[in-house]
Chain A
Amino acid sequence: MNYLPLFTALPLLGAFLTPLLSKIFEKIGDIISTIITTLLLILSIYSTFLLPIFGNIYVYEIGKWSLSPIPLGIIFAFDSLSLLMVLAINLLSFACAIYSVRYLDGYTGRWKFWTLFLLMVAGLNGIAITGDLFNLFVFTEISAISSYALVAFGVEKEDLEASFKYQVIGEIGGLTILLAIALIYAKTSTLNMADIANTLTNENKGILFWFIVSLLTFGFLIKSALFPFHFWLPDAHSQAPAPISAMLSGIFIKILGIYSLSRLVFNIFGLNRSNAPHYFDILIVLGILSIIIAGFIALRQTNYKRLLAYSTISQVGYIFVGLGIGNFWGVVGALALLFAHALGKGLLFLTAGSVEKTSGTLNIEELCTSQKRLPFYGVIYTLGALSLAGVPPFLGFFPKLFLILGAIKEKMLGVGIVLGIFSVLTLAYLLKITNKVFTNKKEGEKVGVPISTIFSFLLLIGLIFILGVFYFNYLYPNLIEKAGEAIMRGIDYAKLVLMR
Chain B
Amino acid sequence: MLPYIGCIILFLIGIYAILTKRNIIKIAIGFCLLEYAVNLFFALIGYKKGSLAPIYTQINQQRNFVDPIPQALVLTAIVIGLGTTALLLSVAIRLHEKYKTFDIKEIKRLKE
Binding site for B on A (CB under 8 A): 134, 138, 141, 145, 148-149, 152, 155-158, 160-164, 167-168, 171-172, 175, 178-179, 182, 185-186, 189, 191, 235, 239, 297, 300-301
Q: A155-B94, A167-B87 are in contact. Are A186 and B45 (CB under 8 A)?
A: yes
Q: Which residues of A contact B53 (CB under 8 A)?
A: none
Q: Which residues of A contact B94 (CB under 8 A)?
A: 152, 155, 160
Extra inter-chain contacts (15) besides given A155-B98, A160-B95, CB under 8 Å: A148-B84, A156-B98, A158-B110, A163-B91, A164-B91, A164-B92, A164-B95, A167-B87, A167-B91, A168-B27, A168-B31, A178-B42, A185-B73, A235-B110, A300-B112
Q: Across the interface, name the chain B residue whose C-beta is closest to A186.
A: B45
For this complex, 7 residue pairs linking A to B, each with C-beta atoms less than 8 Å apart, are A145-B84, A160-B95, A164-B107, A171-B88, A179-B42, A186-B45, A301-B112
Q: Which residues of B contact A191 (CB under 8 A)?
A: 69
B63-112 contacts to A, CB under 8 A, are 67, 69-70, 73, 76-77, 80, 83-84, 87-88, 91-92, 94-95, 98-99, 107-110, 112
Interchain nearest-CB distance for A92 vs B (Å): 24
Q: How many residues of B contact A (CB 8 A)?
A: 32
Interchain nearest-CB distance for A73 vs B (Å): 12
Residue of B18, B38, B107 touching A161 (CB-CB under 8 A): B107
Q: A163-B91, A171-B31 are in contact. Are A182 and B38 (CB under 8 A)?
A: yes
Q: A157-B99, A160-B95, A161-B107 are in contact. Are A171 and B42 (CB under 8 A)?
A: no
Q: Which residues of B contact A149 (CB under 8 A)?
A: 87
Q: Is the CB of A134 within 8 A of B73?
A: yes
Q: Which residues of B contact A167 (CB under 8 A)?
A: 84, 87-88, 91
Q: Across the interface, name the chain B residue whose C-beta is closest to A141.
A: B80
Q: Which residues of A contact B67 (CB under 8 A)?
A: 189
Does B10 make an interface contact (CB < 8 A)?
Answer: no
Q: Across the interface, name the chain A residue whose C-beta is closest to B92.
A: A164
B46-62 contacts to A, CB under 8 A, are none
A164 to B98, CA, bound (A): 13
Q: Which residues of A contact B77 (CB under 8 A)?
A: 178
Interchain nearest-CB distance for B108 vs A (Å): 8
Q: Which 5 A-B pairs have the closest CB atoms?
A: A182-B42, A141-B80, A186-B45, A157-B98, A160-B95
